[in-house]
A = this chain, B = another copy of it.
Amino acid sequence: MTPDAPAPRRRGRPPRTAEATGPGARTRILEAARTEFAEHGYDRTSMRGIARAAGVDAALVHHYFGTKDEVFAAAIEVSFEPALVIPAVLGGAADGLGERLARYFIAVWENPATRAPLLAILRSALTHETAAELLRGFVLRRLLERIAAELDVPDPTFRAELAASHLVGIAILRYVIRAEPLASADPERIIEMVAPTLQRYLTAP
């Protein structure tokens, strides 16, 4: 992930400079795609809108990614990179696993830069079957299997998904719907309450 500075917007068709077509363009397109999907959801995001936000020609977006589905898949893959380094979370002492996972998850969602793409994925997957399918098959399964591989419990993938479901629900109530009192709760209090739940799912026999 290369967090770029917010791309300057141009009116009309951008000039075919090195900036608009060079190697940075692909990264800028992905950044723009994440923002567009986050703000507008899957349905209302267009290739043209992404191109405009990235300051490139729409043809370049098609050149790099082909279809909207493919931009979406690439954007969610990049967005999940922090999640896919999760073995670092899994790698410590077993009895601290629940807390480390809760803390890691809350940190990712408290940070607007990492929250935005996850929000984009969630919103899109909830309202568009293609996006749900991409999330389901492509990312979620890989992520859950990676976690499951580290667990020493019966049905580790089911256990990992139960833990994930709690975290997804917290993200939705706290960051998306912003329902009180969870929305304003101290992150440490959430971690304290949720850690034992995750710990049980991931390590209890």
Check A7 for interface membership: any CB of B closer than 8 A: no
Q: Which residue of B lies closest to A41 (CB)?
A: B127
Q: Which residue of B lies closest to A128 (CB)?
A: B41
- B166-A166 in contact (CB<8A): yes
Q: Which residues of B contact A201 (CB under 8 A)?
A: 193
CB under 8 Å from chain B, chain A span 80-115 = none
Check A200 for interface membership: any CB of B closer than 8 A: yes
> Chain B's nearest CB lies how many Å from the CB of A134?
10
- B177-A136 in contact (CB<8A): yes
Q: Which residue of B lies closest to A201 (CB)?
A: B193
A201 to B166, CA, bound (A): 13
- A161-B132 in contact (CB<8A): no
Q: Which residues of B contact A166 (CB under 8 A)?
A: 165-166, 169, 197
> Chain B's nearest CB lies how many Å from the CB of A166?
4
- A125-B177 in contact (CB<8A): yes
Check A59 for interface membership: any CB of B closer than 8 A: no
Given A165-B170, A170-B165, A194-B162, A179-B140 contact (CB < 8 Å): yes
**Among B43, B144, B178, B200, which residue has its beta carbon within 8 angstroms of that of A197?**
B200
A141 to B155, CA, bound (A): 36
Check A158 for interface membership: any CB of B closer than 8 A: yes
> Chain B's nearest CB lies how many Å from the CB of A6?
16
Kindly list 8 other residue pairs between chains A and B, CB separation below 8 angstroms, not including A157-B181, A164-B169: A125-B177, A135-B179, A136-B177, A136-B178, A136-B180, A165-B172, A166-B197, A197-B197
Q: Which residues of A approach B to under 8 Å, CB–CB?
A: 41, 43-44, 122-123, 125-127, 132, 135-136, 140-141, 144, 155, 157-159, 161-162, 164-170, 172-174, 176-182, 185, 189-190, 193-194, 196-197, 200-201
